[in-house]
Amino acid sequence: MIKKFIIFTIAFIITLPVSAKNISGNWHNDLRSLFLKNNAIIYTINIRTFNANDKNGNELIDENEESGNFINAINELDNLTKMGINTLHILPITPVGKLKAFGTAGSLYSIASLTDVNNQLVSKKISASGISQAKRFIKECHKRNIRVIIDLPSCGSYDLYLEHPEYYIKDETGNPVIPLDWTDVRLFNSGDNKTINEDLMAYHKKFIDFVINLGADGIRADVARLKSEKFWKELIQYTREKDSEFLFLAEASNSWKEPISKYSSNTSVDELFNAGFDGYLGSYFNLKNMTTSKELISMVQEDLKLFKKYNEQKSVIGSFSTHDEVSPVLIKGPKFSKMIIWLNTTLPMNSYYIDGFPTGDKYDYIWANKKAENSQTDDEYYFTHKGQIDIFNFSRKPDGNDYTIYEEFVLANKFKTYYAQDLSYAKFVPLKTSNPSVFGFARITNSNAIIVFGNLDFKNKQEVVVKVPKFNPKKKVLNLRVHKTFKNEYIKGGIKTTLPAGEIEVLSVKNLVF
């Protein structure tokens, strides 16, 4: 009887429809509220590759093929809805620099303008302007109840420096500053907490006007610490006067201590939140290096403690896998991707994924770093970061071939959507385990509990007892991840089991109050 109940419940969750908020066609931004309740399921895309049509299979988009653009991207939106996505994070959509560039199309983050649409993202099949096409794409997102975050790059291209040197920091010799080894960009001069660079502020306010005009619901600020608290505070206040629900998400982490450059700001997470940011990247990308429960649980607790410091709500994204991270399949295999899925779903955070993640793309481009036949920039090579989604060239649509990941991805997103109201206020309770390699936690609502435990050892199985207060074997337990290879033994005060390498368990227990 219990097995039938499990199968029925999972089937029910999978077939749940996605609620339609925009039936009348009048969109009202609610992204900030959604995010602060940890109900956002965010999917990151590069428009240039999102629905690219690689007809000859060479993984490049040649002159006779169609690169990803705002119009053909619309055809993929229904697939996102089926996967349970309710928010898109779009990597930069503004024009890119062609001088001192990386890759044959130029890095999306080496921007040549903040106030126009990148012509590379504009369909040549229709006569509408780039801005009109971007508006149409965002409107189609909203029709499907998908919110849109636009990325704000942190630095500018050399091309933009030649046009507007007043936006940039100069070194002792009067030359623009190159941050780290990012030789395709130059460091903006935002000023400090005493004096703002008014030229750059005016330019960023134009960017805000630009993306709001497109219909966007928020921005993600790339390397947010490169600009001062005073700069961000003024920009956020300017934006909130136009749209109080407009989200500000900072690419920032307490793991990053060293400044990008001796010439730059190194604004702390605390200062960014004081300036008005709603959320940040966090440090969950460090999961790949974690071997003990304490490391993961402490990170969650530190975030929850941090957020209590502020009068306004704050939150975090599940930054386990981003466009700056190597594919999790390359790191620890498909089980690592599945663990990331369920941690995104059950921890007090907003789910976050990169295009290609659901099918296990390894981002292994056969032409990577080879000399190119043609280039739109002054770079003669197909520059890439190994194992990461391509943001430098006209390349194929992100995709993999592991549909076991996809199945769990869909299930988890539907589960998070269905239990969104409960999860938004569910208490986070760490659970003691008898094995340091196995983490455990619970999310507690009024009378029910979601129990999660997982093996951080991706090479060996681990025996463990997960201690669950007031648990008894007679409790009705729903296993959200059905496995044939092993069984849990339900004992008084806990769960005894042997977890395979890299395995994660997600249980729902009725009428369990801690």
Whether 42 contacts 317, CB under 8 Å: yes
Same domain, 216 and 309: yes
Residue 431 belongs to a domain with what CATH number?
A: 2.60.40.1180
Give the start-end residues of each E strand in 92-196: 147-152, 156-157, 185-186
CA angle 307, 43, 267 (to 5 degrees): 40
Same domain, 458 and 442: yes
User: Dihedral of CA 430/431/435/437: which sign?
Assistant: negative
Q: Which two tokens stand for residue 313?
A: 């709500």
Print the domain residue range for 484. Answer: 427-509
> What local confidence, expressed as pLDDT, does residue 514 receive?
77
Same domain, 115 and 32: yes
Give SS3 for 130: helix
Residue 24 belongs to a domain with what CATH number?
A: 3.20.20.80
> What local confidence, expressed as pLDDT, does residue 6 receive?
39
Same domain, 341 and 193: yes
> What local confidence, expressed as pLDDT, does residue 484 receive?
57
pLDDT along the chain (514 residues), means of 10: 37 47 75 98 98 96 95 98 98 98 98 98 96 98 98 98 98 96 97 96 98 98 98 98 98 94 94 98 98 98 97 97 97 98 98 98 96 96 97 97 96 95 93 98 89 97 94 84 73 94 94 80
Do β-strands 504-509 and 449-455 pair in parallel, antiparallel, or remain unpaired?
antiparallel
Cα separation, 149 vs 153, whole angstroms? 13
Same domain, 88 and 100: yes
Whether 454 contacts 439, CB under 8 Å: yes
> What local confidence, expressed as pLDDT, does residue 22 receive?
56
Same domain, 404 and 457: no
Same domain, 265 and 348: yes
Cβ neighbours of residue 292 closer than 8 Å, sequence gap 6 or more: 436, 437, 456
Same domain, 104 and 206: yes
Q: Please report where in the chains the tokens 């004081």 appear, as a residue.
A: 274
> What local confidence, expressed as pLDDT, does residue 15 receive?
53
Is the residue at 514 inside a domain?
no
24-54: b or e for each residue (b if 16 or more CB lie within 10 Å)?
eeebebbbbebbbbbbbbbbbbbbbbbbbeb
Do β-strands 427-430 and 438-444 pair in parallel, antiparallel, or remain unpaired?
antiparallel
Is the residue at 155 inside a domain?
yes
> What local confidence, expressed as pLDDT, does residue 445 receive?
85
Same domain, 325 and 439: no
Same domain, 212 and 285: yes
Is the residue at 209 inside a domain?
yes
SS (H, E, C) 374-390: CCCCCCCECCCCCCCCC
Q: What is the pTM of this model?
A: 0.95
Which of 374, 402, 425 is the C-terminal boundary of a domain? 425
Is the residue at 74 inside a domain?
yes
Number of H helices, E strands in the chain: 15, 18
Which of 397, 425, 453 is the C-terminal boundary of a domain? 425
Same domain, 302 and 342: yes
Q: Which two tokens stand for residue 159?
A: 């091309």
Give SS3 for 184: coil
Do β-strands 315-316 and 218-221 pair in parallel, antiparallel, or remain unpaired?
unpaired
Same domain, 375 and 442: no
Is the residue at 156 inside a domain?
yes
DSSP label at 59? S
Whether 425 contacts 358, CB under 8 Å: no
Query: Which residues, listed in sequence order, are joined to residue 96 by a DSSP beta bridge?
Result: 111
H helical segments located in 74-178:
77-83, 130-143, 158-163
DSSP label at 358? G
Domains in the chain: how many in total? 2
